[in-house]
Amino acid sequence: MTGTTTPGADVDRRWFKRFGRTGPAETRLFCFHFAGGNAALFRRWPQDLPWYIEPVAVQLPGRADRFTEQPYDRMTPLIDDLIEAIHPLLDRPFAFYGVSMGARVSWALTHALRERQLPLPRALFVAASVAPACDDGQWEWDGRDDGLEGYVREMGGTPVEVLDQPELLAGLLPTLRADLTVLSTHGFHPSTPLDLPVHAFAGTEDPEAHPDRMTDWSRETRAPFSLTPVPGGHFFDDAGRQQVVRAIVDHLT
């Protein structure tokens, strides 16, 4: 594909948020949020990235301005529809950055693009997600005495005003449950690793995706792999976010 494309009539804009960034860029950075989250996670990225890297946040159904849409609970239909939506935006170099569930979605999307012989990302950046090779059928949110709500409270990242309002929390849990089901039912184990760089970001105090558990992302590619430990837990604070942004810029520049 040639030429340039910006979100317009030929792009389903429900899927993509640019948060005010305008003008051409050399590389698009598609950003995928965590389970139960939304594209607003990346609202500040346009001001942190140089002009030649355009962040495009992916918004999955079932949240924010797509709240009335049914969230996906399986990976395959999610990836099929996402490819259709993202295809017009693959007309220039691009990369993927995914957080937690978003890491797995971007990884599965990369494999699907390769299978369809479509353009591939320059690099895959994954954060706060156990490597696929570590999947053993056991999931942190299953079998808890305090249920999914306990998992949400333990992991952090959910605003206090949501946790303290039962009706708001009740509105979040169905989408979160669907998102987590996308992960637990995927069971995808590709026989051929990717051929593009993979860079991982792991919270040093993350009980779910500690750096030791993210090193196995190296098995997902035959190209270079690197890992950056980020101080903190599963959800990076502002200093951690800036560390991630700097590393991505270094890799893409």
Report the pLDDT value the prediction gives residue 2, as an integer from 0 to 100: 35
Considering the chain, what percentage of its residues have pLDDT values greater than 70?
82
The CATH classification of domain 16-252, taken from the options 3.40.1180.10, 3.40.50.720, 3.40.50.1820, 3.30.70.1150: 3.40.50.1820
pLDDT band at 3 (very low <50, low <70, confident <90, very high): very low
Q: 93 and 56 in contact (C-beta within 8 Å)?
A: no
Q: Which residue has the higher pLDDT, 126 or 131?
A: 126
Q: 33 and 42 in contact (C-beta within 8 Å)?
A: yes
CA distances from 30 to 117, 121, 201, 214, 246 (A): 19, 9, 16, 21, 16
Dihedral sign of CA atoms 170, 68, 47, 11 in order: positive
Report the pLDDT value the prediction gives residue 22, as an integer from 0 to 100: 72
Report H helices in 40-137. Answer: 45-48, 75-86, 101-115
Instruction: Give the predicted TM-score (pTM) of the model.
Output: 0.89
Structure tokens at 154: 């333990």
Report the pLDDT value the prediction gives residue 200, as an integer from 0 to 100: 98
Report the pLDDT value the prediction gives residue 183, as an integer from 0 to 100: 85
Enumerate the active-site residues: 100
Q: Tell whether the model's pLDDT for residue 6 goes beyond 50.
A: no
Please count the residues of the chain: 253
Report the pLDDT value the prediction gives residue 160, as an integer from 0 to 100: 46
CA distances from 36 to 26, 227, 245, 247 (A): 31, 25, 22, 26
Report the pLDDT value the prediction gives residue 208, as an integer from 0 to 100: 84
State the Cα angle at 125 between 68 and 136, rounded to 5°.
Answer: 80
Mean pLDDT: which of 134-138, 174-178, 241-245 is highest?
Answer: 241-245
DSSP notation for 55-67: EEEE--SSSGGGT
Considering the chain, what percentage of its residues have pLDDT values greater than 90?
64
Domain definitions of the chain by residue range: 16-252
pLDDT band at 72 (very low <50, low <70, confident <90, very high): very high
**Mean of the pLDDT values across residues 189-212?**
93
State how far Cα 89 lies from the chain centre: 17
Give the pLDDT confidence of 138-184 residue by residue, as tens digits.
556 555 544 566 666 665 555 544 545 566 656 677 888 898 889 88
Report the pLDDT value the prediction gives residue 23, as an integer from 0 to 100: 73
Q: How far apart are CA 62 and CA 60, in angstroms?
A: 7
The distance in angstroms from the start CA to the end CA of the chain is 22
The SS3 of residue 219 is: helix
Report the pLDDT value the prediction gives residue 169, as an integer from 0 to 100: 59
Q: 48 and 81 in contact (C-beta within 8 Å)?
A: no
Give the pLDDT confidence of 83-130 residue by residue, as tens digits.
999 999 999 999 999 999 999 999 999 999 999 999 999 999 999 999
Q: Comparing C-alpha atoms, which of 164, 156, 160, 159 is closest to residue 236?
A: 156
Give the pLDDT confidence of 32-60 residue by residue, as tens digits.
999 888 999 999 999 999 999 999 999 99
Q: Comparing C-alpha atoms, which of 157, 155, 243, 232 is closest to residue 199?
A: 243
pLDDT band at 238 (very low <50, low <70, confident <90, very high): very high
Q: Tell whether the model's pLDDT for residue 78 goes beyond 60.
A: yes
Please, what is the average pLDDT of the chain? 86
Q: Tell whether the model's pLDDT for residue 12 goes beyond 90.
A: no
